[in-house]
Chain A
């Protein structure tokens, strides 16, 4: 069993169908830790010691959030600034997180084709995620390919949402049960609900 913690970070939950469905699915998965970061710190008063302890108590950190301006919602940035402390996560004697894994589950507003040199976003999605990827590397963690839903703004159909939430649930269970193939995921840019690298139980 891998110890998995899911950080759900969304300031406008009532307006998000996709993320709400995902969160609902995640809450239903047993044997993992689920944290609604905006519910725990509505006034941005992050308890650094508590958060660091949480990280020490888990092996895989999964951050679920909508991509805002090619970055995280502000509370998650605040969380990174405070919790990934020098001497804890990086720097001199800052090796407490090394060997652990960081992964993202994000919803991107634009359609897939927008995230190409020809599309209106001009860059592939992973380019926008390089700050987070490098953050993981600096802390000695591996950065797994993100679980992505494109075109979240275009009011996705219900089935599409359900499918994505189901995939999310399967992903979390696989990680929990050590059945997620991180090695195979390494070669991917992103993973989606229809192509999850899940190993069969032997």
Chain B
């Protein structure tokens, strides 16, 4: 227990100290974590921590990240990406593999080893690139989207690669061709044989007794099983999640929701591993299936902290895993090879960027961003060693190259940000506005009140995002085609997930004074650019909200009360137009009084001790006595003054002035 706490303490201190410093220096969180890892590596060594096994655990962060990426990606968006995915991604993997293989052969490696090295180095780091793109807000740029397409293709490509690598170890390729048809079975065999890793394969193999559903099955059974698993994820995502989440939501416990979300992600990962597929890919798929779900934002904000922590841990282990002894022994060669690799990958990516017509700044972002080797490289390396395709000594050096290239990636992003991007700024300024127009308005609370606001905004063509925490209610609205999400709008992470940073307007239509005040205070302070329209539950609540700096405060029953009063006037025989004018006048007066009182109201002083407040109520009371006590028909003349005929005096003056004018003629 103490050991565990000590190790956790070391990791946490490293992260908490290094990341803010790195972020402040503009280096980004990834580099902060990597440096933290390098710094604590001696400590970890002294504590006999198995960095590699910690890394296995941390790879769950990558799985979660892909789940979150999937959540952001609706199926139709994914479909629209297909040409980029296959074209850009396929060419990048094939081209880089071939080029690296050629160089390795020129360095006198056998072709089988060269091919394996090519495969290992062709992959880029999904973790670093996506994290950095998100952090810098570049995910939706064309360069970011292209980069994402390539990374997604690589993640998919890892699966056939894992099937293919064992073949390279076969003494005779003729025999191997038979094995090719039996790929999945090979996979699970291979895992049990060696150092399988979570991202690619089963954790279980490390702890004895692989968890596999396909071991011992023949080819078509395996294929069936695999297709079944994917089908289960998709169908489960569509049909099972909703009732499950509704059931969990009915308990009303936030932590249960978090637990369910985790259960969901881990369950899918486990299922994928058991049939020999990539868990990252499986959860990505589940994410895509759930991208249209009303629970999307809730899932996002529940999983996100775990993703962040685990991914951070992952980066630390990458930093800590660098073998400085080996690096120092071969510093020149390793550095040269690393830079060479980055240069080579960069050149190929630039070429592809040109081929696919990426504009200047995006082409640079795309090429610099993906020029490193990635965490899947670690996976493939240990896999190749286990399958005796690459000798341990070569693998150790490659491991260093992969790690160093990842370490240099944040520097490449900084290079892009500081030197490359500014050159294109002028050209692209005009386009920036159109990148994202979704979710202009956030409506918190979709009951009888917020629902009407939402319908009005949608009817006028505005795009709204609705947050509500009444699950049964939401499903009905979903069925009507509204964009509504489950979640508590007073939670900052929910607001964040709903896109408050980019919103122009927040309509607060939730219940409960305290919740409304908390939400308004938070948004006023954190996102001052967001215009707030808020519903007040009563008069004194208006004062609170006014004090909080709101200007658009709507009392929830005021308008309907005034209408009722007006209808009562009509029922008593008042002319409808007179009733209308009187109601208008009443509402105007009431608002005026409210406003005057709000200005002297002080939330920190009770009203009866607030001298200004008492004085103001006295004067207003006197002014409106007639109205308050119903003594007279106070509005009789006031609201009609526009339609009163001129008096006789008016008329005489008028005639007099006209006559004077006429006299000189």
Contacts and interface: CB of A to CB of B under 8 A. Distances in A.
Main secondary structure of the interface of A (DSSP, over half): loop
Interface stretch (A8-16, A135-143, A176-184, A193-201): A8-16
A14 B636 CA distance: 10
Interface string B561-583: 00000000000000111111000
B648 A154 contact: yes
Interface size class of A (residues with CB under 8 A): 20 to 34
Contacts of B209: none
A11 B658 contact: no
Interface in B617-665: 640, 642-646, 648, 651, 654-655, 658-659
Given A12-B640, A14-B640, A42 B577 contact: yes
B659 A38 contact: no
B653 to A, nearest CB: 11
Most chain B CB atoms below 10 A, which of A40, A42, A66, A153: A42
A16 B659 CA distance: 28
Nearest to B645: A153
Interface in A1-51: 11-16, 36, 38-40, 42-43
Nearest to A119: B658
A154 B647 CA distance: 8
A153 B578 contact: no
A12 B638 CA distance: 12
Contacts of A14: 575, 578, 640
A152 interface: yes
B651 A12 contact: no
A152 B640 CA distance: 18
Contacts of A120: 654-655, 658-659
Contact of B577 (A11, A15, A153, A155): A11
Nearest to B657: A120
B579 A12 contact: no
A109 interface: yes
Contacts of A114: 655
Contacts of A12: 640, 642-644
B577 A38 contact: yes
A24 to B, nearest CB: 14
Nearest to B651: A153
A130 B251 CA distance: 75
B580 A152 contact: no
A41 to B, nearest CB: 8
B651 A15 contact: no
Contact of B579 (A11, A42, A110): A42
Nearest to A40: B576
Contact of B580 (A15, A42, A66): A42
Contacts of A154: 648, 651
B658 A39 contact: no
A182 B577 CA distance: 34
A15 B576 contact: no
A42 B576 contact: yes
A196 to B, nearest CB: 26
A15 B643 contact: yes
Contacts of A73: 643
Contacts of A40: 576
Interface string A97-112: 0000000000001100
Nearest to B656: A120
Given A12-B640, A14-B640, A15-B640, A38 B575 contact: yes
Contacts of B659: 120
A15 B637 CA distance: 10
A153 B646 contact: yes
A155 B647 CA distance: 9
Most chain A CB atoms below 10 A, which of B575, B579, B655: B575
A11 B654 contact: no
A109 B577 contact: no
Contacts of B643: 11-12, 15, 73
Nearest to A155: B648
Interface string A41-85: 011000000000000000000000010000001000000000000
A43 B563 CA distance: 12
A152 B648 CA distance: 11
A39 B581 CA distance: 12
A155 B651 CA distance: 12
Most chain B CB atoms below 10 A, which of A11, A12, A16, A66: A12
A12 B645 CA distance: 9
Contacts of B576: 38-40, 42
Contacts of B654: 120
A39 B575 CA distance: 6
A153 B580 CA distance: 26
Contacts of B575: 13-14, 36, 38-39
Contacts of B646: 109, 153
Contacts of B651: 109-110, 153-154
B243 to A, nearest CB: 46
A120 B644 CA distance: 21
A197 to B, nearest CB: 30
Interface string B345-365: 000000000000000000000
A15 B644 contact: yes
A40 B575 CA distance: 10
B15 to A, nearest CB: 63
A66 B579 CA distance: 21
B580 A109 contact: no
A125 to B, nearest CB: 16
Nearest to A120: B658
A15 B577 CA distance: 13
A12 B651 CA distance: 19
Contacts of A66: 645
A119 B646 CA distance: 18
Contacts of B648: 153-155
12 contacts: A13-B577, A14-B575, A14-B578, A38-B577, A39-B577, A73-B643, A109-B645, A109-B651, A114-B655, A152-B645, A153-B645, A153-B651
Given A38-B576, A109-B646, A110-B651, 15 more contacts: A11-B642, A11-B643, A12-B640, A13-B575, A14-B575, A15-B643, A39-B575, A39-B576, A39-B577, A42-B577, A42-B580, A120-B654, A120-B655, A153-B645, A154-B648
Interface of B: 575-580, 640, 642-646, 648, 651, 654-655, 658-659
A-B CB proximity, top 6 nearest: A12-B643, A120-B658, A42-B580, A38-B577, A42-B576, A42-B577
